Amino acid sequence: MKKVITYGTFDLLHHGHVSLLQRARALGDYLIVGVTSENYDKERGKLNVKKSLAERVADVLATGLADEIIVEEYEGQKIDDIRRHEVDVFAIGSDWIDKFNYLKEYCRVVYLERTKNISSTMIRDASLRVISLGIIGSGRVANRFVPESKYVSGVDVAGVYNPREESATAFRDRHELRFATSDLDHFLSLIDAVYVASPHPAHAEHVREALLAGKHVLCEKPFVLTASEAAELYHLAATRRLVLLEALKTAYCPGFKHLVNLVKSGAIGQVKDISASFTKLVEGRPRELSGQQAGGSVTELGSYAFLPAIKFLGLDYHRVSFHSWCDNEGVDLFTRGLIEYPSATASFKVGLGVKTEGSLVISGTRGYAYVPAPWWKTEYFEFRRENLNDVKKYFYKFDGDGLRYELDEFVRLVNDENRRHFCMFSPAESIAAARLVETFREGKNTTKIH
Ligand code: CTP
């Protein structure tokens, strides 16, 4: 029996796929089709796949052309598959010409001519409404956001608002956007959705204005500075069926999401303690250290540091306390905190004027998860147990600045009228993070270090 194997994402199955499968089938007696897993697609930067793995497998099965379907989960798997299944022919479309010559060592390699004028990308683009997005603010993160947006399909950064006209214009020119304005109402009339990247104290007002104008909102962290404002804004978004998402990149990146799922599935037993640190030394008097702009270690970096506690231990802590080293203006340059839960604790360190190891350790009754620095760009983690040799290692991709992951989720939500929230970082979790920031800013349970 002559076995043929082929691979693909097979998203939104089209006649190009069917023609390829027919011709691949004709090269032998038995066709194995490898369909890429969601994780593998994300890992190789394909963020825009519409259908789930189960749906794509069902679509390929329905063609009646595949004798066997396997899932492609990792780079290098093709060699393993070809050996394991004793494959005679590897077939793939001509868009991959010469890319798989290395497989000639294991079987015959055939490049089949690709069907012209059709691709999943074309169908996706045709079916996808392109969201016109405007940016409020034109500082550092906004500058990083525009290039990242190019990796996400279905969204177009159209323009920018800044109350200072010349800043807006310079930003528009730098990123070749269509418009720049210092008139907020005019700005809101020109776009479908907003990315709020203004100074922290302005977030609440900008988010409110955008929601009242009927726009979906992606807002930089820290979302807002009080829990009641956060709750009010999520309520406003819900009543208007608008998407409101806090742009905390860690919550959306593939590595951290998988860490959450593994730990929640009991991989290290019951979580009893968490220790998370994030420090970033800054020089001079940047915005991060401006009291007027709500600067300081907790407001700048706390959203990251609180995330593991909120994700793994929940919202119902009974006490939080802080030890802070502040400058003359009362801006915290370093804060160490403890969040106490009924049956667990979470400690964190954040600093703009102190440097420490930026790792995350989640301690459980059966072992612990160790995520090395920078854990907030989760590319790698280990599960360790009593037996030092029993270590499980996990690797992920974290592309670019990582802002593409939150934007990708935002676009998906905007396009799916039935889903207004992202289950991995819910409004309640974002409100809990705002409450922690608020408690700190009120000076509650805080000991000053000199
Ligand atoms: N294919 C083809 N003709 C097309 C489109 C795809 O022969 N018009 C082939 C590809 O070469 C590959 C297989 O079908 O061998 C699966 O390709 P896949 O990447 O899933 O399809 P695309 O439509 O190219 O997807 P995308 O636009 O997301 O890259």
Per the model's pLDDT, the better-predicted residue between 6 and 122 turns out to be 6
User: Where does the pLDDT of residue 428 fall: very low under 50, low under 70, confident under 90, or very high at 90 and above?
Assistant: very high
First and final C-alpha spacing in the chain: 78
> How many residues make up the chain in this entry?
450
Backbone angles phi, psi at 399, to 5 degrees: -80, 140
- What's this model's pTM, rounded to 2 decimal places? 0.79
Amino acid at 132: S
351: how many CB neighbours lie within 10 A of its CB? 24
pLDDT value at residue 226 = 98
Nearest residue to 306 (alpha-carbon basis) of 202, 217, 204, 221? 221
> Which residue owns the Cα nearest ligand 1 atom 11?
93
Smallest CA-to-CA distance from 422 within 263, 268, 216 is with: 216
Ligand 1 center from residue 9 Cα (angstroms): 8
Whole-angstrom distance, CA of residue 317 vs CA of residue 334: 22
What residue ranges of the chain are covered by domains with CATH 3.40.50.720? 126-247
Work out the percent of the chain whose per-residue pLDDT is above 70: 100
What pLDDT is attached to residue 418? Answer: 87
Nearest CA to ligand 1 atom 24: 119
Residues 72 and 7: beta-carbon distance below 8 Å? yes
Mutation pick for ligand 1 pocket among 5, 9, 63, 124 (CB with most ligand atoms within 8 Å): 9
ω before 374 within 30° of 0 (cis)? yes
* Predicted local distance difference test score (pLDDT) of residue 42: 80
Architecture of domain 251-449: 2-Layer Sandwich (3.30)
Residue 199: per-residue pLDDT: 95
Mean pLDDT along residues 274-300: 93
Give the pLDDT band of residue 49 (cuts 50, 70, 90). Answer: confident
- The chain-wide mean pLDDT, for the chain, equals 95
Please give the angle made by the CA atoms of 257, 131 and 161, to the nearest 5 degrees: 100
Q: Which CATH class is domain 126-247?
A: alpha beta
Q: Which protein residues are within 6 Å of ligand 1, measured from CB?
A: 8-11, 16-17, 20, 92-93, 95, 114-115, 118-121
Domain with CATH 3.30.360.10 in the chain: 251-449
Confidence of residue 44 (pLDDT cuts 50, 70, 90): confident
CATH 3.40.50.620: which residues of the chain? 3-112
Q: How confident is the model at residue 43 (pLDDT cuts 50, 70, 90)?
A: confident
Q: Kindly give the number of the ligand 1 atom that is closest to the alpha carbon of 92.
A: 15
> 3-112 falls under which CATH superfamily?
HUPs (3.40.50.620)
Question: Which of 19, 78, 100, 119 has most ligand 1 atoms within 8 Å of its beta carbon, as the pocket-test mutant?
Answer: 119
Mutate-to-test residue for ligand 1 from 65, 114, 116, highest number of ligand atoms within 8 A of CB:
114
- The whole-number pLDDT of residue 369 equals 98
